[in-house]
Amino acid sequence: MKTITTTAELATYCAQAAKYPYVTVDTEFLRERTYYSKLCLIQLAYMGDGDDDAVLLDPLANGLDLAPLYDLFKDENVVKVFHAARQDLEIFFVDQGIIPKPLFDTQVAAMVCGFGEQAGYETLVRKIAKDNVDKSSRFTDWSRRPLSDAQKTYALADVTHLRVIYEYLSAELDKSGRKKWVAEEMAVLNDPATYQADPDNAWKRVKTRTSSGKFLSIVRELARFREIHAKTRNIPRNRVFKDDALVEIASTKPTSEDDLGRSRLLLREARRGDIADGILAAVQAGLNTKPEDAPRVDTSLEKLQVNPALADMLRVLVKSAADNEGVAQKLIANSADLDAIAGGLRDVAALSGWRKEVFGADALRLCDGEIGLAVKGEKVVTFTL
């Protein structure tokens, strides 16, 4: 098991990898104590004929520059293959603003190929590579050096089996003509906005039970302060204060450190100093927000007049489409999508792109009373009315 620790070694490896049509990539990282993920290890593999086609890359090695890897990520002649890529990609985007292209996510491809909802890597290794993954090193401390042989073996398996999985899924997609389906799903992963946490929108992640403009204004200001404070100090949001404390503060509207001292949920270190000052300023900013500038919860879906019978028929239709096409049902449409369609909304993902081909067009015809559903043997079929 080769471990790359110098820029020269990395440059040599990436130059060789660039001669092949794809490279598989995975990372090991820690995030429990930081806002940003701490990159601890990178695994790379291409389908060559030597012993060095799969390697471990140690980003913690002194003097190592990842520039050759980022050049490989920019090489559009080489497909970059990940499994469940979201968190891996965020690391590289935060570090250098780079999103590897072209990109292939085997989890998405597996859903398109009928391997169920959010197919796990171990499942694909077992079903496609006909092997098993040793999970014993999954939750080890990847920042400690030296890495054990068990850690190295576990980490390398994440990219060696991935080669077999990628080639199988890619061939299946070629046969079914569904590569464009996966390309559509890659749009979110290829969008830089996916990896940019906007402090102004941080309040939307906080669960509240009220739509009061004044209350939500305070929630927005508190969430904005927390996001900025956590980012600048590279600490987890919950180390500043947790969501339940945020909601409590928005309800009690403290105006002094004495008021903060009465909080049941606020961490002790947040009751004084920079955090306390930030909380009090955020509360005041929320109280001073004009009504027309207050945030508003989107209640459009709650106000929909959903026809329950139609919603149930759409659920039957989407299950039938998923079974017929061998695609994960939730990839086509989830319950909220179906209720939205039954309530008359048409700006729904299930009604565009490849989803429209397999489900959306029939869904609209069903809503318009042009078709009905019937059982034929073990299948649900449509018929024209």
Half-sphere exposure (Cβ direction) of 79: Cα atoms closer than 13 Å? 15
CA 157 from chain center: how many Å? 22
CA 66 from chain center: how many Å? 24
Q: Which residues of the chain have pLDDT under 50?
A: none
Structure tokens at 85: 């890529």
What's the pLDDT at 1?
A: 80
Fold agreement (2-195, 301-384)? no
pLDDT tens figures, 251-303? 999 999 999 999 999 999 999 999 999 999 999 999 999 999 999 887 666 66
Nearest to 181 by CA among 286, 312, 331, 337: 331
For residues 118 and 202, is the Cβ–Cβ distance under 8 A?
A: no
CATH number of the domain at 199-293, please? 1.10.150.80
Give the whole-number percent of the chain exceeding pLDDT 90: 90
Helix (H, G, I), strand (E, B) or coil at 344: coil
**Range 301-384: architecture per CATH:** Orthogonal Bundle (1.10)
In this structure, which amino acid lies at residue 52? Answer: D
How do the domains of the chain map onto residue ranges?
2-195, 199-293, 301-384
What's the pLDDT at 301?
A: 63
What's the pLDDT at 306?
A: 87
What's the pLDDT at 138?
A: 80
CATH number for domain 2-195, candidates 3.40.190.10, 1.10.510.10, 3.30.420.10, 3.40.225.10: 3.30.420.10
Phi, psi of 66 (to 5 degrees): -85, 10
Angstrom distance (rounded) from CA 229 to CA 273? 13
What's the pLDDT at 297?
A: 80
Beta bridge partners of 80: 23, 103
Work out whether the CA dihedral 106, 111, 112, 114 comes out positive or negative: positive
Quick count: other Cβ atoms within 10 Å of Cβ 278? Answer: 20
What's the pLDDT at 303?
A: 67
Report which secondary-structure segment, H or E, holds 336.
Answer: helix 335-342
